[in-house]
Amino acid sequence: MEPSNADRLSRFRAVLTNQAVSMLLILILMWFLLSLLSPYFLTVGNLTEITLQTAVIGIIAAGETLVILSGGIDLSVGSVFACSGIAGGLIFQATGNLWFTMAVTVLTGAALGLFNGLFISWLRVPPFIATLGMLGMARGLALILSRGIPIFGLSKEYLWIGQGKIFDLVPVPTLILLAVFALVFFIARYTRFGRFTYAVGSNAEAAKLSGINLRWVILGTYALSGALCGVGAMIEAARLATVQPAGGNGYELLAIGAVVIGGTSLFGGEGNVIATLIGALIETTIRNGLNLLGVNAFWQYVVNGAVIIGAVAVDQWRRRL
């Protein structure tokens, strides 16, 4: 056996059967078709808009990817998103300090995620139930903290996070999106924590018997997922110039959708982070395309749900090949 040759061959095969690659081709095909259907689609302005619209969901989905890779699921992202946004918004109202606000927003998200992890690893509540409970609790907290009233009066600096552009061209959220994916990709591939996340997702018992601290991995993935909800919340607040306690409704569908469209297995241990970015871009492209084609906005939910089911069906079919 020639190890290096065999390595190369199996890597080549892995590329061909990779869901990320096939989804990238589908994304390009979608862009091509939409550019034929709408002259406006393939403009710099619209493509920039797509990355901008992808930013919030993409960032949340990046954290969700780690959770799903570890064999869990985080249904609470939408509520954690709202609650951390509100917590930060209140701090901003009180202090006006943007750095402090950022820290509080992200740390609130991380803390709520940490609670998810504690429920799962200490109380042994299944992830589905633990995060479903958090979905309710975090939403309630957001409404209690804000007394149900949206927060306005964000400063110009705050708004720059969502509306600013670097060199008058690249939106700030797009840059944050890329930075977050670079970071999560790095974590998944080059850190021990990342590798342990895959191992726990693949076989928790074997991972434990290899000496991996399951608790540490579970707490880490959920805390990171929560923290990234906080990052997303800052961007959305800055784009809309308001923090809404009812915001982020249904984001779990979009985030989990982006992950599974990217081909990450809901059984854990299989998938990659960059594929999630492509999955999120596909979701945004569909929404953007339907808008441009003048389709009723309510249909977007239907199409989005159908695409998630379709993507997983295709993935299952491809795995059998």
Partner 1 sequence: MLKTVNFELETGEVHALLGENGAGKSTLIKILAGAYTADSAKIWFRDKLISGNYGPKIAEDLGIVTIYQHFHLIPHLTVAENLSLKTFVSDPGWYVNWRTVQQRARETLARLHFAIDPGARVKDLSVAQQQMLEIAIALSKKAQVIVMDEPTAALSRPETEVLFGLIRQLKQHGIGIIYVSHKLEEVKIIADRVTILRDGNNVATLDAKTADLREIIRLMIGASPTNEPRQGALPREKSIFSINKLQNKHFRKKLDLVVYEHEILGITGLVGAGKTELSRVIFGADKKISGEIRFAGAPISLRQPRDAVKLGLGYVPEDRDSKGLCLNLAVRENIGLATLVKLKGWLFDRGAERKLVRHAVSSMRIRAQGLDQPVKYLSGGNKQKVVLGKWLAAQCKLLVLDEPTIGIDVGARQDIYRLIQEFRREPGHAVILVSSDIDEILQIADRILVLADYRVVADLDSIRTDKHQVLEYCTRRTATPAV
Residues lying near partner 1 in the complex (CB under 8 A): 1, 3, 6-11, 14, 189-193, 195-196, 198-199, 202-203, 205-213, 265, 269-270
57 Cβ neighbours under 8 A, 6+ residues apart: 232, 251, 254, 255, 258, 280, 283, 284
d(CA 289, CA 50): 10
Task: In angstroms, give the least distance from the CB of 127 to partner 1.
Answer: 19
Task: In angstroms, give the least distance from the CB of 173 to partner 1.
Answer: 27
Taking the least distance from each CB to partner 1, the nearer of 5 and 296 is 5
Taking the least distance from each CB to partner 1, the nearer of 140 and 215 is 215
Task: In angstroms, give the least distance from the CB of 201 to partner 1.
Answer: 8
Taking the least distance from each CB to partner 1, the nearer of 69 and 102 is 69
Tokens of 76: 């609470």
d(CA 245, CA 229): 14
Give the residue from 315, 274, 281 showing the smallest Cα distance to 62. Answer: 274
**248 phi/psi in degrees, rounded to 5:** 75, 10
Taking the least distance from each CB to partner 1, the nearer of 268 and 289 is 268
Cα of 141 vs its chain's centroid, Å:
22
Give the up-direction half-sphere exposure of residue 43: CA atoms within 13 A in the CB hemisphere. Answer: 10
Give the residue from 130, 151, 148 showing the smallest Cα distance to 139. Answer: 148
Task: In angstroms, give the least distance from the CB of 183 to partner 1.
Answer: 12
Task: In angstroms, give the least distance from the CB of 106 to partner 1.
Answer: 19
Taking the least distance from each CB to partner 1, the nearer of 160 and 190 is 190
